[in-house]
Copies of this chain bind each other. A is one copy, B any other.
Amino acid sequence: MSLITPSHIQLNEEGRLKHFLTTEGLSKPLLTEILDTADSFISTQERSVKTVPLLRGKTVVNLFFENSTRTRSTFELAAKRLSANILNLDIARSATSKGETLMDTLWNLESMYSDMFVVRHADSGAAHFIAQHITPNVAVINAGDGRHAHPTQAMLDMLTIRREKGPFENLTVAIVGDILHSRVARSQIYALKTLGSTDIRVIGPNTLIPKDIESLGVRAFNNMAQGLKGVDVVIMLRLQKERMQAALLPSEAEYYRLFGLSTDKLALANPGAIVMHPGPINRGVEIESAVADGPQSVILKQVSNGIPMRMAVMAMAMGGQNQTRQEEG
- Known contacts being A69-B94, A73-B87, A73-B112, is A48 close to B59, with CB within 8 Å? no
Top 4 nearest A-B pairs by Cβ distance? A49-B57, A69-B94, A111-B303, A100-B280
A218 an interface residue at 8 Å Cβ cutoff? Answer: no
24 contacts between A and B (CB under 8 A): A45-B113, A47-B57, A50-B57, A50-B113, A51-B85, A59-B80, A59-B81, A69-B89, A69-B93, A70-B94, A73-B87, A73-B112, A74-B112, A80-B85, A100-B279, A104-B280, A104-B283, A108-B280, A108-B300, A111-B301, A112-B303, A112-B306, A112-B307, A113-B307
Most B Cβ at <10 Å: residue of A94, A108, A300: A108
Q: Choose among B58, B101, B111, B279 the residue that contacts A108 (Cβ–Cβ < 8 A).
A: B279
Check if A77 sits within 8 Å of B112, measured CB to CB. Answer: yes
Residue of B nearest to A114 (CB): B77
> In the complex, are the beta carbons of A281 and B80 less than 8 A apart?
no
A282 at the B interface (CB under 8 A): yes
Taken residue by residue from 33 to 61, chain A's Cβ proximity to chain B (1 for < 8 Å, 0 otherwise) reads as 00000000000011111110000111100
Known contacts A59-B77, A77-B113, A107-B303; 16 further A-B pairs (Cβ under 8 A)? A48-B57, A50-B57, A50-B58, A50-B113, A59-B81, A69-B90, A70-B94, A77-B85, A77-B87, A98-B280, A101-B283, A104-B279, A108-B303, A111-B300, A112-B303, A112-B306
Chain A, interface residues (CB within 8 Å), range: 35 or more
Copies in the complex: 3
Tell yes or no: A99 within 8 A of B by CB.
yes
Cβ of A106 to closest chain B Cβ, rounded Å: 11
Flag if A99 contacts B282 (CB, 8 Å): yes
Binding site for B on A (CB under 8 A): 45-51, 56-59, 69-70, 73-74, 76-77, 80-81, 85, 87, 89-90, 93-95, 98-101, 104, 107-108, 111-113, 279-283, 300-301, 303-304, 306-307, 322
Q: Which residues of B contact A304 (CB under 8 A)?
A: 111-113
Q: How far is the CB of A242 from chain B (nearest CB, A)?
A: 12
The answer on a CB contact under 8 Å between A95 and B108 is: no
A48 to B329, CA, bound (A): 12
Q: Would you give the shortest CB distance from A80 to chain B, in whole angstroms? A: 4
Bound-state CA distance A95–B70 (Å) is: 7
A329 to B59, CA, bound (A): 36
Chain B residues with CB below 8 A from A47, complex form: 57
Chain B CB within 10 Å, residue with most, of A73, A74, A90, A301: A73
Which residues of chain B have C-beta atoms less than 8 A from A281's C-beta?
100, 104
A48 CB → nearest B CB, Å = 7
